[in-house]
């Protein structure tokens, strides 16, 4: 196993909060409030972050370099410049690996249920 693979393997499984945040910004960069709302909708209203929790995870992901902060071109909101968060290459690799892991878990479950139903 290469060093990169080992590091990727050690990061998995992701916590639900991390997974949904990464998933939320997988297609396009988003600012904090948009992530908050998107995670709520992605999880079917099950996960509702407090702002403290959201930025705690964002801070950790920035430190791990799974996401990056980019300046938003849109006009500032109430005098505050909006900052968007985007997935980095490393973050995308981790997210893909987690999706693959979840798929394999699900495949195993389907296989077992399929056997039992036969």
Partner 1 sequence: MRIESFRIKPQKTNPAPAQSLTVESLLIRLYVYLLKLYPAGFQAAFADEMQGVFMMTLRNALVTGYLGLLMIIWREIRDLPLNLIRARRQANNQLPPATQRVLRIQWFVRIVGGLLGLFLLNTLTIILSPSYNLYSQAIPFVVMLFLASTSLLIALRWGRVGGLLTITFGIGMGICIILYLALMAWAEISVLLTLFIGVLWALPFVIFGALFYKLSQHPARHANTAKHLSN
Q: For residues 9 and 29, what is the distance between their CA atoms, to the nearest angstrom? A: 25
Helices (H) and strands (E) in the chain, counts: 5, 3
Q: For residues 79 and 56, what is the distance between their CA atoms, to the nearest angstrom? A: 23
74 is an interface residue for partner 1 by CB under 8 A? no
Give the footprint of partner 1 on residues 13-32 (CB under 8 A).
Answer: 31-32
Give the footprint of partner 1 on residues 42-61 (CB under 8 A).
Answer: 48-56, 58-60
CB of 75 to partner 1, least distance (A): 13
Which listed residue (1, 2, 44, 63) binds partner 1 by CB under 8 A?
63
Contacts of residue 28, defined as CB under 8 A and 6 or more positions apart, other chains included, come to: 86
Residue among 58 and 95 whose Cβ is closer to partner 1 = 58
């Amino acid at each position: 196993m290469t060093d990169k693979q080992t590091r990727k393997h050690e990061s998995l499984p992701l916590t639900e909060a991390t997974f949904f945040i990464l998933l939320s910004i997988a297609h396009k960069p988003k600012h904090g409030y948009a992530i908050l709302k998107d995670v709520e909708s992605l999880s079917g209203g099950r996960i509702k972050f407090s702002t403290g929790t959201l930025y705690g995870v964002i801070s950790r992901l920035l430190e791990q370099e799974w996401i990056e902060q980019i300046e938003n071109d849109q006009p500032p909101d109430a005098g505050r410049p909006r900052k968007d968060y985007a997935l980095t290459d490393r973050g995308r690799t981790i997210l893909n690996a987690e999706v693959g892991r979840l798929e394999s878990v699900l495949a195993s479950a389907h296989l077992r249920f399929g056997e039992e139903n036969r």
